[in-house]
Chains A and B, each alone.
Chain A
Amino acid sequence: GEDVEQSLFLSVREGDSSVINCTYTDSSSTYLYWYKQEPGAGLQLLTYIFSNMDMKQDQRLTVLLNKKDKHLSLRIADTQTGDSAIYFCAESIPGGSYIPTFGRGTSLIVHP
């Protein structure tokens, strides 16, 4: 079955890079997503990657995928206080019932 795991907390200094990690268990072809949730709000899609890709970059965000180890990471360059939020990793299998499996979320705290 599917299972997605993330560490619960990450604290970084403003201006440093943040790396949020995620592991998943399903080896089927899959889409992997990163969402951001600010306090009291819904989840906002940041980026996604298909499992036949190794890397995807979008401005300050870099997603790295190690398919062999089923490990996904989200790197945020030049982290700002506005990046403080909960970040969720999620996976879904194309052709299934479109029910993504979410990790528990990583709380990113950015301090001056």
Chain B
Amino acid sequence: DGGITQSPKYLFRKEGQNVTLSCEQNLNHDAMYWYRQDPGQGLRLIYYSQIVNDFQKGDIAEGYSVSREKKESFPLTVTSAQKNPTAFYLCASIGTGYNQPQHFGDGTRLSIL
């Protein structure tokens, strides 16, 4: 079955540490997205990539970095510059075509130790 796989499901970060969240899709989708979800705030866009080797900042990119070296993979690094990283992180992708909805992974919950 095609889908989006996020790992790990739970992640703990120590102060001053960078951590990387994995997102892999086998849907052959060009566009991929990272969102942060906090209680009562809905989804906020961190970064997105519409094609391999290209990505753009979303609304809350500060303290985060991404790469898109392969079509299937869009890892997100939460750097030590992100002072409040505790949240639920969701990865999504979209296929080509105007009516295609986003497909989502099951999320990674990041907490501070």
> CB within 8 Å of B: which residues of A?
8, 31, 33, 35, 40-45, 48, 50, 88, 90, 94-95, 97-100, 102-105
Contact = CB atoms under 8 A, between A and B. Distances in A.
B90 interface: yes
B49 to A, nearest CB: 11
Given A41-B107, A42-B105, A44-B104, A88 B43 contact: yes
Contact of A48 (B43, B50, B99): B99
Contacts of B42: 88, 102-105
Contact of B99 (A31, A99, A105): A31
Nearest to A103: B42
A105 to B, nearest CB: 5
Contacts, number: 55
Contacts of A43: 90, 92, 102, 104
Nearest to A93: B98
Contacts of B99: 31, 48, 50, 94
Contact of A31 (B33, B98, B104): B98
Interface size class of B (residues with CB under 8 A): 20 to 34
B101 A45 contact: yes
6 contacts: A40-B106, A42-B107, A95-B98, A99-B48, A102-B42, A102-B43
Interface string B70-113: 00000000000000000000101010001111111111010000
B2 interface: no
Contacts of A44: 104
The 9 A-B residue pairs whose C-beta atoms are closest, nearest first, are A94-B98, A42-B104, A104-B42, A43-B104, A102-B43, A42-B106, A45-B101, A98-B94, A42-B107
